[in-house]
Amino acid sequence: MNTLFDMGDDLPPGAAILPEFVAPSEEVALAQALDALAWSTELKRRVQHFGYRYDYKARAVTPDAYIGPLPDWLDDVTEKLQVVFGEKPDQVIANEYLPGQGISAHIDCPPCFGETIVSLSLLSSCEMIFRRGEAKRAVLLDPRSALIMQGSARYDWTHEIPARKSDSVAGAKISRQRRISLTFRRTIRVA
């Protein structure tokens, strides 16, 4: 598959990072908009769903998964993301990570979502680990950066965030703060 981006040796093929994808003022506004809503405690970390609430077990997005249009305060970001997706994303999950929290290794449900996944990091950095067989790539996600996963990075490599309070990057210890990520996708809907 042709991918739009392929950057550097540290990222798996098909992944790219766009630094400073949102301005600091937008970062604060997005976090405030999320904190004004009800975070769900259905997972170990707090989450919020927008657009579609897909069924992890069924591994499919059915029409009853629709929970309404994306909120207006996501407009600026989804408009910018049209360049990457070719159209506007229609599904967003917000994940909140307190220091010490993470997400286990996974590939975003292939039958549920299209070939582009974008995760926007807010408020804190964290390290993300990509794995494919024995191969491992550790990538620092900076606040306000957008991580794009397409192609091999999307389908062949797992990604995970180790549950720890700091990351060690090039010998330097970087403490984690509360981090929020917004993950944007296009749903593949089944009737």
Chain residues that interact with ligand AKG, rule: CB under 6 A: 93, 95, 103, 108, 119, 159, 161, 181, 183
Of 5 and 157, CB closest to Fe ion: 157
Q: Which of 126, 118, 121 is nearest to 15 (CA)?
A: 118
- The entry of ligand AKG, Fe ion, none near residue 119 (CB within 5 to 8 angstroms by kind) is ligand AKG
Rounded to a whole number of angstroms, the minimum distance from the CB of residue 156 to ligand AKG is: 15
Rounded to a whole number of angstroms, the minimum distance from the CB of residue 8 to Fe ion is: 20
Of 29 and 162, CB closest to Fe ion: 162
Cβ-proximal residues to 149 (8 Å cutoff; 6+ apart), any chain: 14, 15, 108, 116, 117, 118, 119, 159
Rounded to a whole number of angstroms, the minimum distance from the CB of residue 162 to ligand AKG is: 12
DSSP 48: E
Site for Fe ion, rule CB under 5 A: 108
CA distance 15 to 156: 11
Of 108 and 142, CB closest to Fe ion: 108
CA distance 179 to 164: 12
